[in-house]
Structure 1
């Protein structure tokens, strides 16, 4: 586990103090920056070089009310397992239109696009996303990409979160829209089953159908109002009912 960010800021602070003591107003170069703090900076960032070695990412449609990111258009700190290493407290955004993870460079000014095949998992906004290859850990008919692991009990639930960019014209101005659509998959009997309605969910648990209906009523979970909450509640209830 790498905890490099605090170290970077400390070293940069040391470098700044040293440079401030220079007698003239020369530009900061490798010649007038003390070699000891610089060597420390290089040592502290060596483990993060792979993380920040990606293409620049430019935020598109940044002025629109709707956005292409998961949950928020703001950078928030999260955890990512990338290229064999785990990094914490990394500012990031998840572009679910393109199914790509974006982080901010250590310099704080540039957004970097991570290579999706190198991202094993990441956590952001209290959600845990894991990358699956089609046919490997998921069904062959499920797309390769990031899936939100919303419930990981005996029975598991994955959510494929998507948005599609659309346009509408308002007063001769093109407005970008990003309606979202979530696909739910419940793991049972060795494979994932697509669930999109109460009927499709009850079909997976016919023997517990009556109890699951009762669960919805007692918890006042409206399937149409909050499908995700209702699915998680019923699957969790199913796990309780089928404990050995």
Structure 2
């Protein structure tokens, strides 16, 4: 096949893969012939020569009565943009095990764990995950964080999946989140609107007016409110 035709086929295949992923069966990893061709092409032309493919093997966890271990409950790989060991790679198949906080990829028909410390950035399902390898006990726990805003200040969300042990006859995985603001090289947890305003208290009057003028309600969108307020704070702070 001519190079241009092959490139077009790969592009179309990835487009189909992205649109098909939304409706894929729960236990499907490579769920269409087109998707398999695209991933196989990556494996044969790039993966065998890539340093990415050196992680431990991984086995999928079975679905529970409610929920899964995986980000947005998608337990199949999604083409993603990642930065691995300082190099950007496009359309890498990625699956995020939120419960164990590990990023997974696929080589042939085998799943494997990406080296977290070398995987600094992952754009997955319209989210930007970064890996923090913090050293100080006063910093956040090392792991993958969803980066909502990155300016002079920073807004991060730690996403976790917990097993609800109160259900005696069912296995239920529940989503939990924790929001953090990085300001002056320190991380502050945001558990309420008052906690958020306390972080930016030197601009409290301006921020309250911003919330009122834009009709922003913290309880309706906690993550979005924190990100918008941090961005506005950076704009008015010189």
The TM-score range, normalised by the shorter chain, is 0.7 to 0.9
After superposition, the Cα gap between the structure-2 partners of 1:102 and 1:194, relative to the gap in structure 1 and judged at 3 Å, is same
Q: Which residue of 2 aligns with 1:92?
A: 94
Residues in 1 aligned to 2:176 and 2:82: alpha-carbon distance in whole angstroms: 24
Q: Which residue of 2 aligns with 1:159?
A: 157
Q: Which residue of 2 aligns with 1:222?
A: 217
**Contact kept in structure 2, 1:61 and 1:176, CA below 8 Å:** no
Residues in 2 aligned to 1:92 and 1:44: alpha-carbon distance in whole angstroms: 15
Alpha-carbon deviation of 1:207?
3.1
Alpha-carbon deviation of 1:53?
2.8
User: Unaligned regions of 5+ residues in structure 2, if any?
Assistant: 1-5, 11-42
Bigger share in helix: 2
Name the Cα RMSD after superposition: 2.7
User: Unaligned regions of 5+ residues in structure 1, if any?
Assistant: 1-5, 11-40
Which of 79, 82, 88 is the equivalent residue of 2:81?
A: 79
Q: Which residue of 2 aligns with 1:70?
A: 71
**Contact kept in structure 2, 1:134 and 1:140, CA below 8 Å:** no
- Write the deviation string for residues 115-150 of structure 1: whole angstroms up to 9, x where unpaired: 3233222121122211112236xx634201111211
TM, length-normalised to structure 2: 0.72
How many residues align structurally? 199
Residues in 1 aligned to 2:94 and 2:65: alpha-carbon distance in whole angstroms: 20
Residues in 1 aligned to 2:219 and 2:52: alpha-carbon distance in whole angstroms: 41
After superposition, the Cα gap between the structure-2 partners of 1:214 and 1:77, relative to the gap in structure 1 and judged at 3 Å, is same
Alpha-carbon deviation of 1:199?
0.9
- Write the deviation string for residues 61-99 of structure 1: whole angstroms up to 9, x where unpaired: 325441222224142110222345432101111111100
After superposition, the Cα gap between the structure-2 partners of 1:206 and 1:54, relative to the gap in structure 1 and judged at 3 Å, is closer
Q: Which residue of 1 aligns with 2:25?
A: none
What is the DSSP-based 3-state SS (H/G/I as helix, E as strand, rest coil) of the residue aligned with 1:208?
A: helix
After superposition, the Cα gap between the structure-2 partners of 1:80 and 1:210, relative to the gap in structure 1 and judged at 3 Å, is same
What is the DSSP-based 3-state SS (H/G/I as helix, E as strand, rest coil) of the residue aligned with 1:123?
A: strand
Q: Which residue of 2 aligns with 1:47?
A: 49
Structure 1 range deviating more: 154-163 or 72-81: 72-81
Alpha-carbon deviation of 1:169?
4.7
Residues in 2 aligned to 1:44 and 1:181: alpha-carbon distance in whole angstroms: 36
Residues in 2 aligned to 1:84 and 1:153: alpha-carbon distance in whole angstroms: 21
Residues in 1 aligned to 2:102 and 2:95: alpha-carbon distance in whole angstroms: 9
After superposition, the Cα gap between the structure-2 partners of 1:42 and 1:72, relative to the gap in structure 1 and judged at 3 Å, is closer
Residues in 1 aligned to 2:45 and 2:79: alpha-carbon distance in whole angstroms: 23
TM, length-normalised to structure 1: 0.71
After superposition, the Cα gap between the structure-2 partners of 1:44 and 1:113, relative to the gap in structure 1 and judged at 3 Å, is closer
Residues in 1 aligned to 2:224 and 2:55: alpha-carbon distance in whole angstroms: 36
Q: Which residue of 2 aligns with 1:132?
A: 132
